Amino acid sequence: MKRILSIALLLAGTTYGQTALFIPPAISGTTFNLNIQTGTRTFFSGYTTPTYGVNGSFLAPTLILNKLDSVTLNVTNSLPVATTIHWHGMHVSPQNDGGPGQLIAPSTTWSPSFKVLNDAGTYWYHPHGAGKTDLHVSKGIAGMIIVKDAAEAALTLPRTYGVDDIPLIVQSKAFDVLRQIAIATEDDTLLMVNGTVDPYLNAPAQVVRFRILNGSSMRSYMFGFSGSMPFKLIATDGGLLDTPVTLTRIRLSPGERAEVLLNLTGMVGATVYFKNYGSELPNGIYGADTVGTDTAFIPGYSANPLNGADYNIMKINVTASTGGAVTTIPATLGTLAPWPLSAVDTTRTFNLSPATADSSTFAEGPFVINGHHFAMDTINVVTYLNRTEIWKLVNHTLVAHPFHIHDVPFYIVDINGVPPPPYERGRKDVVLVMPGDSVRFITKFETFADASIPYMYHCHLLHHEDDGMMGQFLVLPGPAGISDATKKQEVQLSPNPATDILTLTSELFLSGSFSVKVYSLLGTEVAIPMEHSEDKLRIRTGSLQTGLYVMKIFSNNNVYVHKFEKL
């Protein structure tokens, strides 16, 4: 029944666009109160579908943040189950990142507080509980984050939210026979934008900015406008490009964002469709005609009418222009400053592979990264503050995987040895890795270090992520041994490197109220004898294996992190 409904919508062509596009309410300021709650919604007449939402029954408000503001987000979980909220693309400390380790129990509030360090751009937020991301996102928890900054404000760009600056959260969802939102099925036949099925938008006859977020669990899109009307790409995941790129298509995989400008000047009365040119997606991508091969094919995949097809996503009625309309597009935008290859400290390879050698899993999964399933207590990668690294992603499977990294944005260096096309030269935090491809990106682990709380990297196909296609990385304080220069003087380590005894000297020890823990680089605590007298702590390092260790000193609610080497 639902398939017939969807096909009817697809074929309806000229009658497409019956419901006004919902624009999520925008909230701004420095304190944000977000209540995650249950709700219901009618997607199919006669059926009530239970949903999740933030400050409402479905989806979440758009958060408007200003760069360099210090913000607090009070996230109250009114669901009957634990969840998390991750600020996708935001450069925040691991404590504030909202990964699987930062569960918010029912009826409790989590209040991360951070300084907004990102450049102007389009980011988003969504749950990230271990094994629960797909369910919680699919049930409705997803919201946009718009960061503003002075450099962007100085450009002549449309920025009146909901008028000429339009959020578009594109999602496809699956429903079971009782019209409950379903996951881990190939039956995601209902398309929606900002939760609106069959939407239309009245857009003024001027330059209009669309902030497109692919918030779907699995599906990629080849977005464009009817008649292949050209548009300008101005921003990718991590903010503005240096110059606008003229395109007629933009492919977005789950998690990716794009800001595009469409010039509707002089077009009052015209109708334009925002479309998916899905027939142009290369095979191997979820949403294309086929994924896998005859011997390793995903059951039910080819029956979905949204796969490999071209269809309207949203109808745009061009209406009278507004006062102060933007009618031209700036020739230059932001600054792109990819780190030079000469700055690279480390290159790492991430192999994306089926978990088993059974060929039926090469398209369907489960998949692993470097042979490992996600495990809460395993740190897969350890790096240091201020290291510049190349991560090389190699896809050994039959489906494309959108690889995402937390903490920092990256620049794509090359895809199979070839530099990326202009539309992929901006800052990114998700990159789609095609079957058989090898993609290298460069990034630098700046600002935040922590000896025990990791960040995530994973496939942003939410079913793959939940199935374990995820790893954790720790950014340790840099080789100087400490992340915060102002705390540097407070503890002296000598000698460092140490052989039998390492002596710490600090006023911190005079009070006697302190504790010290030593960790291996993998984050495992190491038991080690210590003796305290006056302002000195003597650590008996004789029995340690040679190598680097991290030490945390807890005192007066502060944590001082140091690194030492055992010779």
Residue 68 has a CB neighbour count (10 Å cut-off) of 10
* DSSP code for 14: G
Q: Is 463 in the site for ligand C2O (CB under 6 A)?
A: no
**Which of 3-11, 455-463, 534-542, 546-554 is the region at the interface with Cu ion (rule: CB under 5 A)?**
455-463
- From candidates 428, 464, 563, 566, binder to Cu ion by CB under 5 A: 464
User: Shortest CA distance to 472 belongs to which of 519, 427, 523?
Assistant: 523
Question: What DSSP character marks residue 6?
Answer: H
User: In terms of DSSP H, where are the helices of 336-457?
Assistant: 361-364
Nearer Cβ to ligand C2O (245/462): 462
Position 88 contacts ligand C2O (CB under 6 A): yes
**Calculated CA dihedral for residues 62, 261, 263, 231, nearest 10 degrees:** -140
Q: Which is nearer to Cu ion, 291 or 459 (CB)?
A: 459
Residue type, 484: D
Phi, psi of 279 (to 5 degrees): -70, -15
Q: Which of residues 393-432 bind ligand C2O (CB under 6 A)?
A: 404, 406
Q: Contact between 232 and Cu ion (CB under 5 A)?
A: no
Among Cu ion, ligand C2O, none, what binds residue 459 when CB lies within 5 to 8 Å by partner kind?
A: Cu ion
Nearest 5°: the CA angle 551, 553, 558 is 130
**Pairwise CA distance, residues 108 & 36, whole Å:** 11
How many residues make contact with ligand C2O (CB under 6 A)? 10
Tell me, rounded to whole angstroms, the distance of Cα 118 from its chain centroid.
13
Give the per-residue contact string, 406-425, with Cu ion (x = CB under 5 A; - = no).
x-------------------
Supply the minimum distance, in Å, between the C-beta of residue 445 and Cu ion.
15
Which does residue 128 bind out of Cu ion, ligand C2O, none, counting CB within 5 to 8 angstroms by kind? ligand C2O
**Which range binds Cu ion by CB under 5 A, 68-76, 235-243, 393-401, 513-521?**
393-401
Tokens found for residue 51:
């949903």
Question: Is 434:398 a contact under the CB 8 Å cutoff?
Answer: no
The token pair at 40 is: 């219901």
Residue 156 burial by Cβ neighbours in a 10 Å radius (0-12, 13-18, 19+):
exposed
Instruction: Give which of ligand C2O, Cu ion, none residue 136 binds (C-beta under 5 to 8 Å, depending on kind).
Output: none
Nearer to Cu ion, 164 or 407 (CB): 407
Part of the chain binding Cu ion (CB under 5 A), chosen from 108-116, 301-309, 388-396, 402-410: 402-410
Closest approach of Cβ 465 to ligand C2O, in Å?
7
Q: In the complex, what is the shortest distance from the CB of residue 58 to ligand C2O, in angstroms, rounded to a whole number?
A: 19
Minimum Å gap between C-beta 87 and ligand C2O is: 9
In whole angstroms, how close is the CB of 144 to ligand C2O at the nearest point?
12
State how far the alpha carbon of 230 is from the alpha carbons of 197, 204, 233, 234, 264, in Å.
25, 17, 10, 13, 11
Sheet strands (E) in 23-98 = 26-28, 31-41, 49-54, 62-66, 70-77, 86-88
Give dist(CA 416, CA 436) in Å, integer: 9
Query: Hey, which residues between 77 and 136 contact Cu ion (CB under 5 A)?
Result: 88
Which of the listed partners (Cu ion, ligand C2O, none) does 458 bind, with a CB threshold of 5 to 8 Å by partner kind?
Answer: ligand C2O
Q: What is the Cα–Cα distance from 457 to 401, expressed in whole angstroms?
A: 12
Binding mask 101-140 for ligand C2O (x = CB under 6 A): -------------------------x-x------------
**Of 367, 2, 47, which is closest to residue 187 (Cα–Cα)?**
2
Write the secondary structure of 122-134 as one string of H (helix), E (strand) and C (coil). EEEEECCCCCCHH
Please report how close the Cβ of residue 548 comes to ligand C2O at its closest, in angstroms.
Answer: 28
**Sign of the CA dihedral with 272 first, then 307, 53, and 465 last:** negative
> 389 - beta bridge partners?
346, 443
- What is the nearest approach in angstroms of Cu ion to the Cβ of residue 122? 13
Binding piece for ligand C2O, criterion CB under 6 A, among 7-15, 308-316, 412-420, 453-461: 453-461
Binding part of the chain for ligand C2O, among 298-306, 372-380, 452-460, 491-499 by CB under 6 A, reads 452-460
Residue 94 touches ligand C2O, criterion: CB under 6 A: no
Give the residue, chosen from 459, 493, 518, 553, that forms a contact with Cu ion under the rule CB under 5 A.
Answer: 459
d(CA 550, CA 541): 13
Q: Which residues pair with 250 in a beta bridge?
A: 223
399 φ, ψ (degrees, to nearest 5):
-125, 155
Instruction: Give Cα separations from 487 to 222, 321, 420 (angstroms).
Output: 50, 56, 42
Within 8 A by CB and 6+ apart from 560, the residues are: 482, 487, 490, 491, 508, 552, 553
Q: Is 288 helix (H, G, I), strand (E, B) or coil?
A: strand
Cβ 137 to ligand C2O shortest distance, Å: 9
Q: Which of 16, 67, 84, 86 binds ligand C2O (CB under 6 A)?
A: 86
Beta bridge pairs of residue 26 = 62
Q: Which stretch binds Cu ion (CB under 5 A): 7-15, 173-181, 303-311, 463-471?
A: 463-471
363 binds, among ligand C2O, Cu ion, none (CB under 5 to 8 A by kind): none
Residue 255 binding target from ligand C2O, Cu ion, none, CB below 5 to 8 Å by type: ligand C2O
Helix (H, G, I), strand (E, B) or coil at 26: strand
What is the nearest approach in angstroms of ligand C2O to the Cβ of residue 310? 28
- Which of residues 126, 401, 458, 562 is near Cu ion by CB under 5 A? 401
Between 251 and 464, name the residue whose CB sits nearer to ligand C2O.
Answer: 464
- The residue nearest ligand C2O at its CB is 88
Q: Which does 67 bind (CB under 5 to 8 A by kind): Cu ion, ligand C2O, none?
A: none
464 binds, among Cu ion, ligand C2O, none (CB under 5 to 8 A by kind): Cu ion
Q: Which residues bind ligand C2O (CB under 6 A)?
A: 86, 88, 126, 128, 255, 404, 406, 456, 458, 460
